[in-house]
Amino acid sequence: MSFTINRKKTRQIKVGKVKIGGMAPIAVQSMTNTFTQDIVSTVAQIGRLEKAGCEIVRVAVPDEDAANAISSIKEKISIPIIADIHFDYRLAIASARAGADGLRINPGNIGSIKKVKAVVECATDFNIPIRIGVNSGSLEKEILKKYNGASAEAMVESAVRHIELLKSLDFHQIKVSIKASDVHRTLEAYRLLSSKTDIPLHVGVTEAGALFPGIVKSSIGIGMLLAEGIGDTIRVSLTRDPVEEVRVGFEILKALNIRRRGPEIISCPTCGRCKIDLFDIVEQVDKALLTSTLDIKIAIMGCMVNGPGEAKEADIGIAGGDGKGILFKRGKVVKKFPQEKLVEVLLKEIRKG
């Protein structure tokens, strides 16, 4: 029985050439961890993110040099760039003038309505959207006091307040994120906010952590929301190379059968029957196909007896043992060869198409 996701339709905006909301494909984005004013390093990292499939990239803008660097960065990349602003509204204006495709601000820490209005007027002039970024750690003091802490309800009230502020300034190119560092509060907040607005939502679990806890928290949080039809863009937050964030993001979409980019590798967990170094073989194949966009399911199995049958839904696969290797397609063996050629034969067959 197939699982169908009933995605909530939101109003559509554009970040550069990327459509967000309105049933457009859910976009995967990430954020650089270079110093933005280091143009060479930032462009190099964005280049790697583009190869991994990143569709929107965010850069930190802590000062005027970082804002001004956006114009030079834009000349050398192909995906839209969002300027991440905190506290100083002038940096948002400088970033827009430098060519940013969007702004991420928290109106609560930008300052007075006059300052927010200046940012909104600039975004209007340059026809770029604003993402309202509400985090559990940066709520207004009066809201924290009202709810006795950064509850999901407090986060949603802050988000709705900011949405209404921008709308009162006749600005409607809005996207919202409402993140906490724990899964339960993140889920509760997004569900509540989604019930109150049709504005597109950027989904993620903030400060998710190192590789394994970050992947688990993000996969559960983002995955559950997407399965409920909530979310128009996603970012997996990891304390790692941001390329890993993009990769995990697409794996979440792939697991839910929402979007497919690149091969899906399935492999057995190994047992006492396994007589090959399956860990190394999987790692070699995974690394070789890291930037591949082929939509193909690949099986790498440790047992020639059960492998093809257990992986009969795979488009192509290999299994080995006792010095022998086999290549199979849809569960049927099509080639036998020496075991040491497992990776070579598989990759050659995949590249043949």
Q: In the structure, what pLDDT confidence band is assigned to residue 189 with cuts at 50, 70 and 90?
A: very high
Q: What is the pLDDT of residue 306?
A: 66
Query: Is residue 272 very low, low, confident or very high in pLDDT (cuts 50, 70, 90)?
Result: confident
The arithmetic mean of pLDDT across residues 79-86, rounded, is 96
Name the residue with higher pLDDT: 277 or 47. 47
The string of DSSP codes covering 108-147 is: HHH-SHHHHHHHHHHHHHHT--EEEEEEGGG--HHHHHHH
**110-162 residue pLDDT tens:** 878 899 999 999 999 999 999 999 888 778 889 999 999 999 999 999 999 99
Token digits of residue 292:
């591949």
Q: How confident is the model at residue 305 (pLDDT cuts 50, 70, 90)?
A: low
pLDDT grade for 211, boundaries at 50, 70 and 90:
confident
* % the chain with pLDDT above 90: 71
Mean pLDDT of 200-223: 89
Please give the pLDDT value at position 1. 44
How high is the mean pLDDT of the chain?
Answer: 91
Mean pLDDT for the stretch of residues 326-349: 92
Give the per-residue pLDDT at 3. Answer: 66
Locate 242 and state its tokens. 């941001």
Q: Give the domains, in start order, of the chain with CATH numbers.
A: 13-255 (3.20.20.20), 264-352 (3.30.413.10)
353 compared with 171, residue with greater pLDDT: 171
Q: Please identify which residue in the block is written with the tokens 């091969």.
A: 263
Contact 309, 299 (CB under 8 A): no
Cα separation, 77 vs 47, whole angstroms? 7
177 DSSP β-pair partners: 133
Tokens of 26: 């859910």
The pLDDT tens digits for 25-72 are 999 999 999 999 999 999 999 999 999 999 999 999 999 999 999 999
Mean pLDDT for 308-314 is 76
Which stretch of 46-60, 296-310, 316-330 has the lowest confidence by average pLDDT?
A: 296-310
Condensed to tens digits (0 to 9), the pLDDT of residues 231-271 reads: 999 999 998 899 999 999 999 999 999 998 888 898 888 77
Give yes or no for a contact between 260 and 292, defined as CB atoms under 8 angstroms apart: no
Cβ-based burial of 297 (10 A; exposed 0-12, middle 13-18, buried ≥19)? middle
Confidence of residue 330 (pLDDT cuts 50, 70, 90): confident
CA 60 vs CA 84, 181, 216, 260, 300: distances in Å? 5, 20, 26, 29, 40
